[in-house]
Amino acid sequence: MSRYSKNRILPTILAIVVIIVAIAGLVGLARLLFVGSAPKTPEVNVAREALLSTDAGSSVTMNVRGPIVADENFRSFQIVVSPSSREVKTFTGYLDAVIDEESLSNNVSAYTEFVHALDKANLTSGKQLEGDANDMRGICATGRITQFIIKRGGEPVQTLWTSTCSGSRGSLRASTEQLSQLFTRQIPNAPNYISKVSL
């Protein structure tokens, strides 16, 4: 190949590279101007939407587990509230044998007030843990674990928990006492049932 041909090819290749870089730069600038300036849509809080939903299959649950002791002495209780029902159950043993239970009817208006109160008490402000960090087995062996579950369509959307042990804070970032009171006040006889399991 002659020196003349090499001298023609080199500037042509250089010109093509410059054109490609210029086009890429213009595309990047256009994206920045048009896409970057588009108003950002707010992130949807799926857990909060599920909490405030009054659809059939929506519910909120509070589970409380006592210290890890012998199977015969282990106690726990659960309160489940939905738009159509309210329920409290107390359990003995790790297989959740029912000691006592009470079921009451509910209505959408009452449920709406309740879940909005939970929302104001920041129930969904925590972030659900994943994997081993969300494994509550053996956690806080000498104290209590309180777990809150939000369901929509019968499926769990968010599960948050905390414990009375300082080293096992869990995922809940709200006042356990405030949330627990809201749940127990949904069932007039709840304190009588809960006192029997003496957690």
pTM over 0.85: no
Inter-axis angle of helices 190-197 and 176-184, nearest 10: 120
CB–CB of 78/60 below 8 Å? no
Print pLDDT tens along the chain (199 aa): 555 555 667 677 777 877 887 787 777 776 766 665 555 545 568 999 999 999 999 999 999 999 999 999 999 999 999 999 999 999 999 999 999 999 999 999 999 999 999 999 999 999 999 998 899 999 999 999 999 999 999 999 999 999 999 989 999 999 999 999 999 999 999 999 999 888 7
Question: What is the C-alpha separation between 173 and 27, in angstroms, rounded?
Answer: 44
Q: Which helix (H) or strand (E) holds 4?
A: helix 3-34
135 beta partners? none
Q: Give me the residue label for tokens 């309740």.
A: 114
Helix-strand-coil split of the chain, %, nearest 5: 40, 25, 40
